[in-house]
Amino acid sequence: MRPLIAGNWKMHGLAPQLDDIEAIAASVKATPPFADILICLPATLIARAVQTAAGRIAIGGENCSAEVSGAFTGDISAEMLKGAGASAVIVGHSERRQHHDETDAIVAAKAKAARRAGLLAIICVGETKSQRLAGKALSICGDQIAGSVPESMTASALAIGYEPLWAIGSGHMPTSKEIAEMHGHIRQCLVARLGTEGKDVRILYGGSVQPSNARDILSVPEVGRALVGGASLKARDFEAIIGAVPTKA
């Protein structure tokens, strides 16, 4: 399980920001990292970013339709992302679950579409603050795994992003112990759902990962991987996070 450091630009980025992709690709070339590097972008930037990245970093989408094609104005299929040069897609990000009412069933259908198109599906799960305070964090994320991860998934086609909703963009985050506990629980849930394939699925921590805390987070047992929002928008910050991947991982 080679570590994976993934960025999620969300709804940010116009053509000039491709300079950051170029800078990250150049730094990956100069200092090969101890991890696979992926940046998930708005669909409008994917094809150009793929050219700019020149194969040094992988480029992904942030969402896809479950359908292949058809009368779904404004939607983009997994096949279209693949055709634009993407190799991965985030599905079920909490911002889509929240603002677009995406249920576990919808997320599972999108994950299946990603697999059909040959994209890595990064399925996101995470609890709210009140769910954590009520002691329900593990069961909420376990239920999301059971509902969102198709049984047919293989380890190479899937990654899980554990992103506590209250940690996203807030500067707050769970303790290392809580992250380790959750990642261990997610591992058990994946093995229960996928059998031995579940042992090798990469689980990424996401939520306020910054250059200043990346080393601590990435050295937590069962972590070693991250899904980075705000700090992936600036080449220098993202490079610092990439540089924090433990060399033994």
Q: Which residues are catalytically annotated?
A: 93, 163
DSSP codes, 188-242: HHHHHHHGGGGGG-EEEEESS--HHHHHHHHTSTT---EEESGGGSSHHHHHHHH
Of the residues 150, 198, 207, 211, which one makes contact with ligand 13P according to CB under 6 A: 207
At 171, the amino acid letter reads G
| CB burial string 215-243: b at 16+ within 10 A, e below | eebbebebbbbbbbbbbbbebebbbbbbe
Q: Does 211 bind ligand 13P (CB under 6 A)?
A: no
Stretch that binds ligand 13P, among 21-29, 64-72, 162-170, 186-194 (CB under 6 A): 162-170
Minimum CB distance to ligand 13P, residue 75 (Å) = 20
d(CA 235, CA 155): 29
Stretch that binds ligand 13P, among 41-49, 81-89, 129-137, 203-211 (CB under 6 A): 203-211
Of the residues 3, 4, 5, 8, which one makes contact with ligand 13P according to CB under 6 A: 8
- Burial group, residue 59, by CB count within 10 angstroms (0-12, 13-18, 19+): buried
Stretch that binds ligand 13P, among 20-28, 111-119, 144-152, 221-229 (CB under 6 A): 221-229
Number of residues that bind ligand 13P (CB under 6 A): 14
At 185, the amino acid letter reads H
At 111, the amino acid letter reads A
Inter-residue contact 113 to 78 (CB < 8 Å): yes
Q: Does 144 bind ligand 13P (CB under 6 A)?
A: no
CB nearer ligand 13P, residue 79 or residue 106: 106
- Nearest to 53, CA basis, from 77, 36, 73: 36
d(CA 217, CA 70): 42
* Window 163-202: residues binding ligand 13P (CB under 6 A): 163, 168-169
Query: Per-residue string for binding with ligand 13P, 90-129, x by CB under 6 A?
Result: ---x------------------------------------
Minimum CB distance to ligand 13P, residue 230 (Å) = 3
Residues that bind ligand 13P (CB under 6 A): 8, 93, 163, 168-169, 206-209, 227-231
